[in-house]
A and B are shown apart, each in its own frame.
Chain A
Amino acid sequence: MSENAHNPHTGRDGDNHPEGHDHAEEHEPIIHEAAPSYYEILEISIRELLTEKGILRPEEIRRQIEVLDSRSPALGAKMVVKAWLDPAYRSRLVQNGNAAAEEMGISIYDNTKLTVLENTPGVHHVIVCTLCSCYPRPILGLPPDWYKSKEYRSRTVREPRAVLAEFGTLIPEEVQVIVQDSTASERYMVLPLRPAGTENFNAEELEALVTRDTMIGVALPSISN
């Protein structure tokens, strides 16, 4: 089963039991505010067909959603900090993102290839998916809503410095900005620069600086945040 970039489960209210049978419920009936959308109906239909035909068991679908929801930027932050502290890990991470993630017990469950974009004093990377919402979910979890917005997707390729400035990130003219449009099989994570003044920080303190946005490239790790 290929999960790719799209979580097929929309689970609107968290109340659609796959079995669809009645429970002896004590609480007030749950009322749907709006009719399900075309894509929600499509998702439910395909999911039910897959289980009826015995291709997937409800338990497998439930488990995969649990895996998706268990991921968060804390995993990416651990990889970044390990790369800051351990030059050998850093080169393995830049060489082969999947192997470097798996080495830390982080499975890349969606058949994508993780490429790590190394920021340097002269180069800043920023990631966007103009076509949809390709995002390194195994190591960062679900993308933020703004990442999926048409504004972010269309403007980041066209005027990246203006978009970054709106995030409060000013990149000097002498630093090259590389926009990475993520469109197919690769997923990207930015390896940000370790900020000055963190020489005495331990791993945990460093991980707190490596937020989600610093790994998308719209922010820089900073000790003043």
Chain B
Amino acid sequence: MKSATDYNPATYTVGEQVRIAMKFPVGHYRVPMYMRGRTVTISKNLGRHINPEEEAFGRNAGNESWYYMVRIPQTELWQEYNGPDTDMLEIEIFENWLEPIKKDIT
């Protein structure tokens, strides 16, 4: 049994803005299309869990990965959203789908 200190630390911290990767790999993925490429805020570190992308092919042992709760305002997600600005969407995303926000190049 590994203890928490045997793992690499989580890459992202609560409150940080990150981008969900815009990629379309073949296989079993738990990132809905509508979230790909979105900029989101980490709202919670959910710890580590077996990555379903690996589990789907029977590779369960040792494939735990950090995953996070992320949130995005509905008005950013959908241009036509007509509810209040405070309405949110939350979703779990595994770390391998998150990218740091690139600094603007001017």
- Residue positions of A touching B, CB distance < 8 A: 2, 113, 130-131, 157-161, 173-174, 176-186
Contact B30 A184 (CB under 8 A): yes
A174 to B77 CA separation, bound complex (whole angstroms): 20
Contact B49 A185 (CB under 8 A): yes
A138 to B86 CA separation, bound complex (whole angstroms): 32
Q: By DSSP majority rule, is chain B's interface helix, strand, loop, or mixed? A: mixed
A174 to B89 CA separation, bound complex (whole angstroms): 17
Q: How far does the Cβ of B50 sit from chain A's closest Cβ, in whole Å?
A: 8
The residue that B32 contacts in the complex, of A113, A130, A177, A180, with Cβ under 8 A, is A130
* Count of A-B contacts judged by CB separation below 8 Å: 66
A1 to B35 CA separation, bound complex (whole angstroms): 31
A131 contacts which chain B residues (CB < 8 A)? 30, 32
Contact A178 B88 (CB under 8 A): yes
| Band of interface residues on B | 20 to 34
What are the 5 tightest A-B residue pairs by CB atom distance, in nearest-first order?
A181-B91, A185-B49, A176-B86, A184-B30, A179-B89
A157 to B88 CA separation, bound complex (whole angstroms): 9
The residue that A186 contacts in the complex, of B35, B46, B74, with Cβ under 8 A, is B46
Q: Which residue on B lies nearest to A174, using beta carbons?
A: B84
- Residue positions of B touching A, CB distance < 8 A: 30-32, 34-35, 46, 49-50, 52, 55, 67, 71, 74, 77-78, 81, 83-84, 86-92, 94
A177 to B85 CA separation, bound complex (whole angstroms): 10
Give me 13 other A-B pairs in contact (C-beta within 8 A), A160-B74, A182-B92, A183-B92 excluded: A2-B55, A159-B81, A176-B86, A177-B83, A178-B71, A178-B89, A179-B74, A184-B67, A184-B94, A185-B49, A185-B50, A185-B67, A185-B92
Contact A183 B88 (CB under 8 A): no
Contact A173 B84 (CB under 8 A): yes
A185 to B77 CA separation, bound complex (whole angstroms): 23
Q: Which residue on B lies nearest to A179, using beta carbons?
A: B89
Q: Which residue on A lies nearest to B94, using beta carbons?
A: A184
Q: Can you list 18 A-B pairs with a CB-CB distance of less than 8 A?
A: A113-B46, A157-B34, A157-B77, A157-B89, A158-B81, A160-B83, A176-B86, A176-B88, A178-B90, A179-B74, A181-B32, A181-B89, A182-B92, A183-B31, A183-B32, A184-B30, A184-B94, A185-B52
